[in-house]
Structure 1
Amino acid sequence: MTAQRPNTPEVREMHDILDDFLRGDVVQDQPELYHAVKALMTAKPEYRKPITMIPTHEVELRRDYAVQIEKRLLIADRNFKLTSVHLTAIMMTPLENLERHGYLSPRQASVNELASRLTMAADLVKRYIRHKISSHPHSTMKSTTKKSTTKGTKPGSQAASSRKSRSNKKGVNPDDPYFPPDDRGLDQKDLCRDRDKKRCIFTQTAQGDVAHIIPRTWNDSVEHVLLTKKVIAAAQAFMDQETFSKYEGLFADDNNLGTTDKHWNMLYLNKQQHWYLDHTSIGLKCLGMEYPFPEDDTKATVLIQLNWLHRTKLNPNKAVTSQGDGNDFDKMIEGLRQFENERSPARVEDGEGMFAAVRVNNHVPLISGHVVRVTMASEDAHKCKAMLDLSWTLGVIAAMSGAAEWLELSHDDDDDREEISQMASVDQWVQNQTQRYLMEQSHKANLPSGAPSLPAPGAPGLPPRSPDRPAWSPDRSPSRPPDRSLSRPPDRSPSLAPAPPPRTPDRPPRTLGQSPAERLQSPIPLGMITNRPRQDSSPKRKLRLELLDSRARTSPRRGDATRDDATRDDASRDPSPDKGSEKLQQGQEPGSPQAIVLQTESRRGSPRSPRSPRK
C-alpha cells in the first residue's frame, strides 16, 4: 500500500508547472534544461536541518547573565562601554562559561579580570574578521601594518637615493623595499587540492581557491604572532579548556611561524564561496567526526555543514544595553529568529543582486543545512575540527554584531604596536642568526676528514691563506718591540715551508661568525676603514731602510754612540729632562730602526720630533 500523496495547492501548482514545461517547446529547443530539471528532481544531497544558534530555553538565562555582567562592570567603571560585540559574545559562548567559575562568569572575584576577558574576546573577533578579509587573494583592503616615515619628510613623500636605478619599468620605485614572492605553504595547498579532488567541496566547480579556515596571517610573521598572543587567550570563551590547551600553540608559536598554513586548515572552495566565507556571509559548522573504516582508525571524516549567516549593520563600537524594555539583547534575538524562520538561502543586498550558490552537478541551490564530508588523517581531522569550531563562533559573532560590516572600526589595537614591532624585529634577527649558525655547523659537518675548512680564495693571483691563522696574534702586535733580525740581510737559502704571504689590502681579515665563503667572496674595498696596520711602500722609505741596514751592519757601536749623542742633544733642547727618555721608551729599543732614524735626525739638527711606530 503506497502512502497517499499530499494534495495541497502548492503541490497542484507544481504539477501544472512541470506539465507545461514538458509539453512546451523549451524541451525540444533546449534539451539541456530537461536534463537539468531531471538531475535536480533526482538529486539527494546530504542535508541536516540546522538548529537555532541560540536555543529558546537559553534566551532568558543568557539575558540574566548579560544583565549581571553589565551591572557589575558599570558599578566598577561608569565609563565602560558594552558593545554589540560583547553582547553577541555572551550569546554565543558555551553556557558553562557563564556559570560559576566560568571564563565569563559575572561572579568572578575580580571585576577587572571580567572586563579584561570580555574586551579581549571582542578584540579576538575583530582580529579574526580583519585578517580574514585582508588575506583574501582578491581583496582590495589595505594592510593594517603601519608604515614609518623618515623624520623630516612628509608621509607619502619619496626619500632621495644616491643609488642609480637599474630598472626602466614604469611604476617601479628602486627605493621601495623588496619583498620576495610569498611561496610558503604551496606544498600544503597542493595537498588540499589533491584531497578535495581539485573541485569545490560544495559547488563541485573547478579552478577554485584554497581557503583558510583560520587566517594564516595570524602567525605568518613574528609581529603577527606577538599580536595574536595578546588576544588568543580569549578563545577559551568559545572552546572547552582541554581543546584550547591542546591546540593553543597552533594559533601563535614564537618558535614556529605559519602553524596554521597547513592543509588541515584549508578547504578547496569556489571563488565566490571563498568570498562569502571570508566576509562572513556563510559559516561552516563542524557537526563532528566519523571513522569510515572501522578496521582503520588512522583515517577520519569531518562533517561540515553550510549555513547562511544573519548579518546586521549595527555599529560594533556603539554602546548597547541588555536592561529595560526594548533592550538591544531582545532586538538582536528577534532579528535572528526572523532570519531563521524565513530560511532565506541568500541575503539580498542593495540593488537586484543576491547572495546564492548552486551545485553544478545536480543544479541544487545551496541552502543552510547542506553537508559535505572531508576525509583526512585522524590527527589532522582533530585539528581541522578545532579550527572549524573557533572559526564558526567568531564568524557568527562578527556577522550578528555588525563587525563584518564596519571594517574600518575593526582595526587592531595599535596602542603598543610599535613596541611589539620592535620586539618582533629583535626576535626575527635572533632566528636569522640561529638559522645561519645551524647552516654553518651543517656545512662543517658535511666536510670530509682532512679537507681544508676554507675554499680557495675568490681573488685571482692570491696565495691560499692558512685557515688556522688568526687575523690578529701577539707575534704581529704593533706594541711588541721589533725583532733585531729585521736589520739583517735577508736569508737567500731555500726553506722547507714557504713564508706566509704579506698582508695586503685585498686580503680581508677573518671576522668572527662569518662563513668562509663570505670572507673570501667579499674583499674589503679600497678606501674602507679597517683594523689592519698601515704599510708605507714609498721609494723614500725603501731608501731609508737600505741606508739604516747598511749602517747597522758596518758600525753597530757607532750607532750606539750616535744614539747617546742624540739623547744628550734632545735633553739640552727640551727643558723637560724626561722627554727624550719617554720617546725612547715608546718601543725604541737600542739598535732598532726607529732608534737609528732618531740618531740620524738628531745629528743633522732636524727640528722634527721622532715619530712613534706606525700601527
Structure 2
Amino acid sequence: MAQSFGVPILEPEYKEGTRSQSIIRPAVPLRADALFPIACLQEPELDKRYGQAKKIEVAIKDIYPWFSFRVEQLAVILLVGIEDLRGSGHLSPTTCSPYHLKDRVCDVSPFYMLQLDPRNLDQKHWGHVISKAPKWQPRLDIEMHPDQVALSIYYNSRFRTGKSVENLPPGFHKEAESKCRERDKKRCVVTGRDNPRIFWFIPRGWNDTVEHNNTTGNLEGGCIFLTKIDLLDDIHSATELGKTHEAWNMLCVDPAIYNALTQGLCAFSFIRKKDVDDRTSEVHLKFFWMPILRGRFDQIVNLNEVEGCFPIKRGNKPVTFDHERVEREGKEELSLDLSMFQHRGCPMPRQVDSERTAISDPPILSGKDVVIKMPKRESELFETVVRIHWACVTFAALCGGAGRAWYLTGKKQVDGSFEPRDEQFRRDGARKNEHG
C-alpha cells in the first residue's frame, strides 16, 4: 500500500487480460439487500437498452462517420433510466438531434473530478488535470475555419465566476466540519467507531477558488446528462464560492473507509428520506463496494457482444446470465461483469480486504444500512450530493476506474477538447509488468 500526502493509496490488484477481480472472488449467498442498485441491473429490458444504444450510435454516425461507442458512452447508457433513452428523454434518438446526442454521451466522463479533492491535487496520477484557464479566442466570424468556430464557441460560452468573487480563506470549512461531527456524534456512520474523518461528497476543491469554480462550471453539463441534476439549482454558483462547504455535504467515517471513498472504491446509495417532525428528516442510505473491473478506458465496444453471453430473461424480473457457463467459457462483457459482481454479493475489493481489520472484523458487506437525522432543508441538499457522488463513482467503476479514475477520458480546459487516457493506462500497465 503506497502512501502519499497522508492518504494511503490502496494499489489496485488488477491483472489486465484476465477476468475482472469481482468475478473471480468466491461466491457468497446473494442477499436481496445487496443487489447493486444501478438501472441496468434493476429492469427486465436490458436488450431494449442496448437497442437504444445502437440507434444512438447509428444516429451519431450519420453526422460523424468516425464515431463508435466506447466504454464511457456504454456506461452512461447502463446507468441512466430507461425513460431517458426513449420518448422525449434527453438521450432519446427519436427526439434528440445527433449533435446533442454526441455531446451528451461524451460529456459525462470529464465530470468525474476526483482530482479536485485537495488531497489528490499533488499526486502524480492527477498531474494531467491541473486547471488551466481557457485560451482567449475571438468572437465568431463568418470567415472562420470550422475548427476556429469550435474554439470560439467554447471560449465565449465558458463558465465565468463573478469578477468581485474572491477565493475562500484557509479554514473556511472548519465550522461546517464541526457541525458534521456534532450531528454524527463523532462516530463513523458505518461502523460506529470513534475518531472518524470527515468525508466530503462534493470535494472541497470543486468551488474553493475562482479557478476551480470555473472548472466545475465548465463541466457541469455532464452532471445533468448522467443524473438530471443541475448543479446551478442549489450547489454551484457564479456569484458565490463554497456553496457545498456545509455539513449537509459531509459524513463522519472511519479513516480506512474514508480512504476507500476518496478513491472511488465504495459509495453510498440514496434510498429514501422521511420526515420525523416539522424540522427534522431521517435519511436512509446503503453502503456499497464498487466492482473492480478490467480497464476498458476509451475502448470501442461491440453492442452486439452481450447477445453471446447467454442472457436469461425472467419475465418482469431483471435480466441475469448463465453465470457458470460464462465463467466456463471465459466470456467478458460489461453488463455480464456487473451481473457477476452482483451475483457474488458485491464483495469488498481485494485491496481493501487486505486492510479490513482497520475497518471492521468481520468485514462490512455491501447493502449495509446507514440512517442519519438532519434538518429537513439540509436533507434535500444531502440527497442531491449523495446522488451525484454515487453516479460519478459507479460511472468510473463501470469503465474500470474504481481506484484509478485518473485514466477516465477528461476534457482540456484550455480548448475544450477531450483527453483520452487509454495510452497512458497501457504504458503504466506495461511498466508495472516489467517491474513485476
TM range (shorter): 0.5 to 0.7
Per-residue deviation, residues 148-197 of structure 1 (Å, max 9, x unmatched): 9xxxxxxxxxxxxxxxxxxxxxxxxxxxxxx9983121000000011111
SS in 2 for 1:305: strand
SS in 1 for 2:238: coil
Query: Paired residue for 1:322, among 291, 303, 310?
Result: 303
Per-residue deviation, residues 272-320 of structure 1 (Å, max 9, x unmatched): 101111222112001110223xxx2210011110011112132322222
**Deviation, structure 1 residue 409:** 3.1
Alignment of 1:417-496 (within 5 A): none
- 1:229 and 1:146 map into 2 onto residues whose CA distance is 12
1:118 equivalent in alignment to 2:118: no
Q: Residue 221 of structure 1 aligns with which residue?
A: 209
State the superposition RMSD in angstroms: 3.1
1:73 equivalent in alignment to 2:54: no
**Deviation, structure 1 residue 394:** 1.6
Contact 2:187 2:194 in 1 (8 A): yes
Contact 2:168 2:208 in 1 (8 A): no
- 2:281 and 2:90 map into 1 onto residues whose CA distance is 31
Q: Residue 268 of structure 1 aligns with which residue?
A: 252
Letter in 1 for 2:207: N
Contact 1:203 1:358 in 2 (8 A): no
- 1:304 and 1:358 map into 2 onto residues whose CA distance is 22
Q: Residue 288 of structure 1 aligns with which residue?
A: 272
- 1:235 and 1:406 map into 2 onto residues whose CA distance is 20
Distance change (3 Å), C-alpha of 1:327 and 1:276: farther
1:97 equivalent in alignment to 2:84: yes
Distance change (3 Å), C-alpha of 1:114 and 1:210: same
Alignment of 1:565-604 (within 5 A): none
1:235 equivalent in alignment to 2:250: no
Per-residue deviation, residues 39-79 of structure 1 (Å, max 9, x unmatched): xxxxxxxx944355322403112111111111211232122
Contact 1:94 1:237 in 2 (8 A): no
Q: List alignment gaps of at least 5 residues for structure 1.
A: 1-46, 149-178, 419-615
Alignment of 1:370-381 (within 5 A): 370-381=368-379
Q: Residue 131 of structure 1 aligns with which residue?
A: 116
Query: Paired residue for 1:341, among 340, 343, 347?
Result: 343
**Deviation, structure 1 residue 415:** 5.0
Contact 1:358 1:366 in 2 (8 A): no
Query: Paired residue for 1:384, among 374, 382, 385?
Result: 382
**Deviation, structure 1 residue 343:** 1.4
Moved more, 210-219 or 84-93: 210-219
1:278 equivalent in alignment to 2:265: no
Identity level (%): 20
- 2:405 and 2:359 map into 1 onto residues whose CA distance is 31
Alignment TM-score, normalising by the size of structure 2: 0.67
SS in 2 for 1:234: helix
**Deviation, structure 1 residue 324:** 5.2
Q: Residue 328 of structure 2 aligns with which residue?
A: none
Per-residue deviation, residues 562-602 of structure 1 (Å, max 9, x unmatched): xxxxxxxxxxxxxxxxxxxxxxxxxxxxxxxxxxxxxxxxx
- 2:70 and 2:240 map into 1 onto residues whose CA distance is 35
SS in 1 for 2:286: strand
- 2:216 and 2:173 map into 1 onto residues whose CA distance is 20
**Deviation, structure 1 residue 145:** 2.1
Q: List alignment gaps of at least 5 residues for structure 2.
A: 1-31, 134-166, 312-331, 417-436
Letter in 2 for 1:258: G
Distance change (3 Å), C-alpha of 1:115 and 1:187: same
- 1:197 and 1:138 map into 2 onto residues whose CA distance is 32
- 2:347 and 2:50 map into 1 onto residues whose CA distance is 29
Distance change (3 Å), C-alpha of 1:408 and 1:389: closer
SS in 2 for 1:57: coil
Letter in 1 for 2:266: I
1:396 equivalent in alignment to 2:394: yes
Alignment TM-score, normalising by the size of structure 1: 0.49
- 1:52 and 1:230 map into 2 onto residues whose CA distance is 29
- 1:90 and 1:325 map into 2 onto residues whose CA distance is 14
- 2:56 and 2:383 map into 1 onto residues whose CA distance is 31
- 1:386 and 1:376 map into 2 onto residues whose CA distance is 14
**Deviation, structure 1 residue 389:** 1.2
- 2:306 and 2:174 map into 1 onto residues whose CA distance is 54
SS in 1 for 2:35: coil
**Deviation, structure 1 residue 408:** 4.2
Distance change (3 Å), C-alpha of 1:77 and 1:417: closer
**Deviation, structure 1 residue 136:** 5.2
Q: Residue 190 of structure 1 aligns with which residue?
A: 178
Contact 2:275 2:282 in 1 (8 A): yes
**Deviation, structure 1 residue 251:** 3.9
Contact 2:198 2:252 in 1 (8 A): yes
- 2:302 and 2:77 map into 1 onto residues whose CA distance is 12
**Deviation, structure 1 residue 104:** 1.0
- 2:96 and 2:345 map into 1 onto residues whose CA distance is 43
1:206 equivalent in alignment to 2:198: no
**Deviation, structure 1 residue 102:** 0.9
Contact 1:135 1:215 in 2 (8 A): no
- 1:225 and 1:146 map into 2 onto residues whose CA distance is 10
**Deviation, structure 1 residue 348:** 2.0
Distance change (3 Å), C-alpha of 1:381 and 1:48: same
Larger radius of gyration: 1
Moved more, 197-206 or 316-325: 316-325
Distance change (3 Å), C-alpha of 1:409 and 1:309: closer
- 2:226 and 2:344 map into 1 onto residues whose CA distance is 27
